[in-house]
């Protein structure tokens, strides 16, 4: 696992171990935790990129500004859903992009918050 770290991360880990007098098992636990956190940060970054792309697509589709064409009409067109914009976006994300319900919920809320 240590070999998976970048040179900078190896240096940070070595400094932490030198300062802390950790046992081998504690060092392994710290290393596993660090790698796990790095992976979750990477996944969070990917999700944020997807949200940004969706928001840019909404902005591109609706023209200069959301005010000129309501977000609701975009959602109705995209998802054939008549109802709350947030629900329509969420359903579209689940159906077409295979988002989990939780990720779709928060992505839809973010889009509505930004554009409405």
The residue whose two tokens read 């790698």 is 35
| DSSP assigned state of 73 | H
pLDDT of residue 8: 78
Of the candidates 113, 111, 112, 116, the one whose C-alpha atom is nearest the C-alpha of residue 50 is 111
Name the domain count of the chain: 1
pTM: 0.35
User: Domain limits at 33?
Assistant: 2-115
Beta carbons of 104 and 86 less than 8 angstroms apart? no
How sure is the predictor about 80, in pLDDT bands with cuts at 50, 70 and 90?
low
Tokens for 56, please give them: 């840019």
pLDDT, tens digit, 9 for 90 and up, residues 18-72: 776 777 787 777 777 777 766 665 666 676 677 767 766 766 665 545 455 555 5
- The pLDDT value recorded for residue 23 is 77
């Amino acid at each position: 696992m240590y070999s998976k770290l970048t040179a900078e991360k190896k240096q940070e880990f070595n400094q932490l171990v030198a300062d802390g007098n950790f046992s081998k098992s504690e060092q392994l636990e710290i290393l596993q935790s660090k790698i796990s956190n790095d992976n979750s940060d990477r996944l969070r970054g990917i999700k944020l990129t997807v949200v940004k792309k969706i928001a840019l697509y909404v902005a591109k589709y609706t023209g200069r500004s959301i005010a000129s064409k309501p977000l609701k009409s975009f959602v109705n067109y995209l998802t054939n859903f008549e109802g709350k914009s947030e629900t329509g976006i969420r359903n579209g994300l689940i159906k077409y992009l295979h988002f989990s319900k939780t990720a779709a919920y928060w992505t839809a809320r973010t889009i509505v918050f930004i554009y409405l």
